[in-house]
Amino acid sequence: MGLSRKQLAEESDISQVQIFNIETGRTTNPRDTTRTQLEKVLQEKPPGKTVKAVEKSAQVAGVGRMSDFDPHNEEDFPKEPVIYVLYDISNRPIYVGKSEDIRGRLRNHLDKFWYRRPIVETGAYLRVDDSTLRAQLEETLIKFLKSNAVINQRLVDR
């Protein structure tokens, strides 16, 4: 269609940053709603093989599907119980969290210095309905990431 990133953002109601992240491959598993909005504006669907390959790579066996989201756009926050990871500009995980309501949890972070770009650039989540499993996954990820998830270390104010 020949739309600029700005025009595509305005017409799809998706942030320019999120569109940039999709274009550059930083976002590899956009939410279904994001994909639908882009398809509507572009009046084109990606090839079925591509969609299946992306969905397959996003699956976590026995748990669910990973999806990316824009942590700076409240409209893009998931509305479900999740385990989530926030990434910096280098795509390194810097925060792991769990939440029954990620919208409320992320709103608590919005005014924190560490939550600004480029410290927090992108996010990904996995829907996990079971609260015990969510807690176990969060703890496991934090332990694996060790000091790389600096913000999640014990005794650090989140």
Q: Residue 128: name the closest of 118, 136, 116, 139 by CA.
A: 136
CATH number at residue 53: 3.40.1440.10
Q: Residue 34 and residue 40: Cα distance in Å, rounded?
A: 10
The mean of the pLDDT values for the chain is 85
Counting the structural domains of the chain, the total is 1
Q: For residue 146, is it within any domain?
A: yes
Task: Write down the pLDDT at residue 152.
Answer: 53
pLDDT score of 5 more than 60: yes
Task: Write down the pLDDT at residue 124.
Answer: 94
Q: At what angle do helices 16-24 and 32-42 cross, to 10 degrees?
A: 90
pLDDT > 70: percent of the chain: 92
Enter the pTM of the model.
0.77
Q: For residue 115, is it within any domain?
A: yes
